[in-house]
């Protein structure tokens, strides 16, 4: 028996980054294991069409195993890599004063916990605090452990005030969403568990 001396590469996440890395490494003399906490790749740019009921969720999600079924060097595993706690840095960030009054701040509300009706309930709470509501939709995944508020560059103070108003502990810059995808909103509320 000949020992397999190829390097082993583990890729965490079958998003665009993970898929491109795995596809690129197919040409290299390595064994790739791609792990994801869900068993599908989600084509996030089409999420808005699902929110608008123009597409079904299954139209924008493809099983990772199906994507790589012909590739002998790429193994797909369904598992969660424990993530580091994200909240610490955000908690110690300096408070910034909000410039806009609440009524001029538009908030995108995304359901990140999968509980039916959670985003709609939160949206009415946010609007009850005097904010405008932009889109109410699903977040890219439903396993956010805690709620967080993300902000468009320049609106950190507004995001911190929104987080205070709602009792949300984590405030961070945009992650995975570009300003152009916010439909004019200054802040995004993602509901966690
Ligand atoms: C509504 C919306 C519209 C967008 N439109 C566009 C667009 O038009 N053009 C554009 O260029 N970009 C767009 N984006 C942004 C784009 O989708 C993201 O930049 C891109 O998906 C990021 O890819 P990624 O691989 O870094 O992360 P993701 O695609 O988020 O993939 C991360 C993967 O890692 C997995 N994962 C996470 N944590 C763990 C863990 N601990 N253990 C195991 N697995 C884990 C997740 O399940 C997920 O499958 C949009 C995003 C959204 C939300």
pLDDT of residue 94: 81
Give how many domains the chain has, as a whole number. Answer: 2
Neighbours of 142 (CB within 10 A): 16
User: 95 vs 83, which has greater pLDDT?
Assistant: 95
Pocket of ligand 1 (CB under 6 A): 12-18, 35-38, 44-45, 47-48, 80-81, 83, 140-141, 176-177, 181
Q: How far apart are CA 76 and CA 72, in angstroms?
A: 10
Count other Cβ atoms within 10 Å, centred on residue 158.
Answer: 26
Is 149 in contact with 177 (CB distance < 8 Å)?
no
DSSP 108-153: EEEE-S--TTHHHHHHHHHHHTT-EEEEEEE-S-S--SS-EEEE-T
For the segment 162-187, the average pLDDT, to the nearest whole number, is 89
CATH of the domain at 60: 3.50.50.60
User: What local confidence, expressed as pLDDT, does residue 88 receive?
Assistant: 45
> pTM of the full predicted structure?
0.58
Q: Are residues 74 and 112 in the same domain?
A: no
Q: What are the tens digits of pLDDT across the range 107-160?
A: 999 998 989 999 999 999 999 999 999 989 988 778 788 899 999 999 999 999
92 lies in some domain: no
From 10, 11, 16, 138, the mutation candidate for ligand 1 (largest count of ligand atoms within 8 A of CB) is 16
Identify whether 84 is part of a domain: no
Q: Are residues 46 and 104 in the same domain?
A: no
Provide the residue range defining the domain that includes 47. Answer: 7-78
Instruction: Indicate whether 80 pLDDT > 50.
Output: yes
Do 120 and 185 reside in the same domain of the chain? yes
- Average model confidence (pLDDT) for the chain? 88
First to last CA, the chain: 50
Percent of the chain having pLDDT more than 70? 92
């Amino acid at each position: 028996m000949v020992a397999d001396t190829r390097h082993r590469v583990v890729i965490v996440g079958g998003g665009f980054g993970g898929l491109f890395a795995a596809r690129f490494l197919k040409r290299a003399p390595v064994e790739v294991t791609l792990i994801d906490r869900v068993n599908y790749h989600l084509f996030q740019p089409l999420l808005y069409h699902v929110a608008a009921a123009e597409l079904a969720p299954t139209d924008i999600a493809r099983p990772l195993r199906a994507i790589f079924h012909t590739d002998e060097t790429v193994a797909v595993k369904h598992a969660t890599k424990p993530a580091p706690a994200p909240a610490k840095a955000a908690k110690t960030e300096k408070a910034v004063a909000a410039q806009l009054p609440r009524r001029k701040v538009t908030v995108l509300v995304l359901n990140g916990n999968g509980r039916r009706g959670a985003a709609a309930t939160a949206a009415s709470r946010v609007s009850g605090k005097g904010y405008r509501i932009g889109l109410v939709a699903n977040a890219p995944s439903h396993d956010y452990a805690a709620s967080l508020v993300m902000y468009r560059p320049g609106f950190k103070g507004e995001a911190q005030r929104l987080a205070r108003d709602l009792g949300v502990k984590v405030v961070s810059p945009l992650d995975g969403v570009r300003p152009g995808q916010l439909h004019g909103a200054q802040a995004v509320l993602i509901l966690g568990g």
